[in-house]
Structure formats: C-alpha cells, structure tokens
C-alpha cells in the first residue's frame, strides 16, 4: 500500500514543481537547469519511479499467487499496470531534462508552456499521474466496502492532481479572468476537463467524486497563490519592463467545482444511456462554466479582487503593464460568441462521451 502513497506524494511534488517553475520564469527568468523547481520535479519523478520499481521487483520475486494474479507481466517482470506506467513516466521526464537544456542553449529564452521539451516533460508527468490513478483504482476495485471509500478518495486525489496539470497546461489560453468573455475560453476548457471529471466520477466509490477532484485542484492552486508571493524574487534577464519583488502566483483556479457538482448529480441519478448522458454532461459542463465564469471574470478584474487572497493583477517582469490588464481579451460579437459556444458544447459532449467510455473501462481494472 505504501508505494501508492509515495507515488501520490511524488505526483503532488511534480505539480507543485511545475507551477513553481512557471512562476520562476515569470518572476526571475530562465535560470540554470538546477533551479529549485526543476530539482523538485525531477526528484519527485525519481521517487515515483524508484518506489514503483521496488514494487515490481517485490511482486516478481517475492509476490504471492494473488499478487501475480493482480499484476501485468513485462519483460519477465511482474507489477501492477499503474506501476509500469509510473516507471515509463519517470523515464520520460528524465529524458526531457537534457532535451530542455539543449533547447534553451540552441534557441535562447523560452517563456512558452507548449514547447517540444515541455511537451515531452508533460507526457511524463501525465504518465506518472495516470499510473497513480490506476494503482488507486485497481486496489479500490479489489477492496472490501469499508476500505474502498478511502481508496476512492486517493483515486479522486490523483485525478485532482491530473486536473491541476491540465489546467496549468492550458494557462496561456484559458486561465486569466481577461479570457472569460471569449469563446476561446469555453472551447479550450471543454477539450479535456470533462474527460477527467467524468472518468473520475464513474468508477469511484465516493459520493461526490468529480466534485472532490475539482476541490483537490482548487486547493492545490489556492495554496500556491498564497505561499509563492511570500518569497522574494528579482528578475535576472532583460528586458525588465515590470520590476517584481515577489514570486508571481498562478491565476486564481477555475471554478470547475460548479459543473463538477452537476456532473456528479447526473452520474448518480440518471438512467440515460451513455450517448444521451454525454449530451447532458457536456451541456452541464459548458453552461455551468459560462454561468459562473462570465460574472466571476468581471469580479476578478475589479478593484475588489486586487489583494493577496485572489492573487490577481500580478504580471511577468518582461510585460509592459497598462490598462489592458483590466479589460477582456479576444471578445467577439454575439453571433460569433454563440458560434464558439456551440463548438464548445459539441466538444464537451464528445469529451464527456470519451470520459464515460474510459470510466466504464476503469470500473473493471483489477491489475
């Protein structure tokens, strides 16, 4: 059981290192590979991979018949499917490190989240997190009822960390309050978030699994919003248009908990087939996001939100600040917005259906 807890702690270290690394780039600039966020990410990956490697060795050479029955054979070794996925994710993250260093040396400063080395790194992170989810799920599906709820919470926690990783990955397109009147915001959030929420809801033994997943994501981001600015920071790379003195926090977390609550209600009470249920879930997600974020964006751009609690109005050192930071970006006319919202609805229905399919398969995971 302890390898699962170790992998979850390592996953949390990875996502904290990821958000800290972005804050480091926004506050200080490109640093050496051995910056504290990079070290935290890679050490966390090594802890996850090492603990799963130990689990594979113990299952192979000292496992019981029951252990072998609940494991997957690979290259003559036996271990849980989630452990193999964690090992692959660790190797991928380690491989991304020299690639990222070479990329910066060859092409200079890179402040984008979506660069080739970062994508390799992100696939490794997702691999470790998916492995943690499978490890928790396989134990939950084999556990007695009194233990299954605790394991269900561990599964929801691992899904919440995955949701945090995804929300961080789309930060440039759908995180700042300035985006919340743009159809792009709803299209981007509808791509993968419903998959995570629906797939975490269907196989879980918790009463409110999607809501718990969203709450874990919000808790992680909120803690970093409150903790990171406590540390001093000074930009090291020119041009410096906006001198900062503190680490810049991530944007306030999206209020995904609202549509997540609706998803849980549908999953509990609906007797619709999966195709009709996907339509209901997709509509719940998109209109739930619209209902809360249209007004929430206006609040976050107002003077009432410019305090340490909400962490807004904190901008990168290389940005020339102006009145644009209190305005909505990429807005369009009503027909254009409705067209974009329709596309978001279609995307959410497709991704909800995919989440239902994945969730159904995960209910039978035993290895």
19-47 pLDDT, tens digit per residue, is: 998 898 888 887 666 788 888 988 998 99
Q: Can you give the pLDDT at residue 223?
A: 97
Band of pLDDT at residue 110, cut at 50, 70 and 90 = low
365 has a pLDDT exceeding 80? no
CA–CA–CA angle 162, 126, 175 (5° rounding): 50
Q: Can you give the pLDDT at residue 70?
A: 66
13 has a pLDDT exceeding 70? yes
pTM over 0.85: yes
Q: Can you give the pLDDT at residue 107?
A: 63
The average confidence (pLDDT) of the chain is 86
Higher pLDDT, 357 or 30: 357
| Helices (H), ranges, 170-315 | 183-201, 209-227, 257-269, 274-300
Q: Can you give the pLDDT at residue 206?
A: 85
328 has a pLDDT exceeding 70? yes
The closest alpha carbon to 293, from 326, 261, 253, belongs to 253
Extents of the domains making up the chain? 1-142, 170-367
pLDDT digits (tens, 9 = 90+) for 201-216: 888 878 899 999 999 9
Residue 172 half-sphere exposure toward CB, CA atoms < 13 A: 8
Rounded Cα distance between 41 and 23, Å, is: 14
Q: Can you give the pLDDT at residue 207?
A: 85
């Amino acid at each position: 059981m302890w390898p699962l807890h170790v992998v979850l702690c390592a996953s949390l270290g990875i996502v904290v290192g990821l958000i800290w690394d972005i804050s480091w780039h926004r506050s200080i600039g490109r640093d050496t590979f051995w910056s504290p966020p990079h070290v935290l990410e890679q050490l966390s990956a090594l802890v996850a991979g090492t603990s799963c490697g130990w689990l594979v060795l113990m299952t192979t050479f000292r496992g019981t018949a029951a252990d072998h029955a609940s494991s997957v054979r690979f290259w003559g070794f036996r271990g849980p499917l989630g452990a193999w996925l964690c090992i692959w994710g660790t190797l991928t993250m380690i491989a991304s490190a020299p690639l990222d260093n070479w990329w910066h040396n060859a092409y200079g400063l890179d402040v984008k989240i979506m660069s080739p080395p970062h994508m390799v790194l992100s696939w490794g992170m997702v691999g470790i997190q998916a492995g943690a989810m499978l490890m928790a799920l396989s134990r939950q599906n084999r556990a007695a009822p009194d233990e299954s709820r605790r394991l269900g919470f561990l599964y929801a926690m691992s899904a919440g960390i995955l949701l945090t990783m995804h929300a961080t990955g789309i930060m440039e397109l759908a995180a700042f309050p300035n985006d919340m009147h743009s159809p792009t915001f709803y299209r981007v959030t509808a791509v993968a978030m419903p998959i995570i929420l629906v797939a975490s809801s269907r196989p879980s033994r918790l009463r409110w699994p999607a809501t718990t997943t969203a709450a874990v994501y919000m808790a992680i981001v909120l803690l970093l919003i409150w903790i990171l600015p406590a540390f001093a920071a000074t930009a090291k790379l020119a041009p410096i248009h906006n001198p900062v003195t503190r680490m810049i926090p991530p944007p306030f977390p999206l209020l995904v908990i609202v549509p997540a609550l609706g998803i849980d209600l549908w999953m509990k009470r609906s007797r619709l087939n999966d195709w009709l249920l996907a339509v209901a879930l997709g509509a719940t997600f998109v209109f739930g996001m619209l209902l809360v974020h249209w007004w929430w964006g206006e609040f976050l751009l107002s003077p009432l939100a410019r305090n340490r609690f909400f962490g807004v109005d904190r901008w990168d050192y290389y940005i020339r600040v102006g009145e644009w930071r209190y305005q909505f970006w990429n807005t369009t006319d009503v027909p254009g917005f409705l067209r974009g919202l329709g596309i978001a609805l279609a995307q959410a229905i497709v991704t909800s259906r995919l989440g239902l399919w994945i969730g159904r398969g995960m209910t039978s995971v035993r290895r």
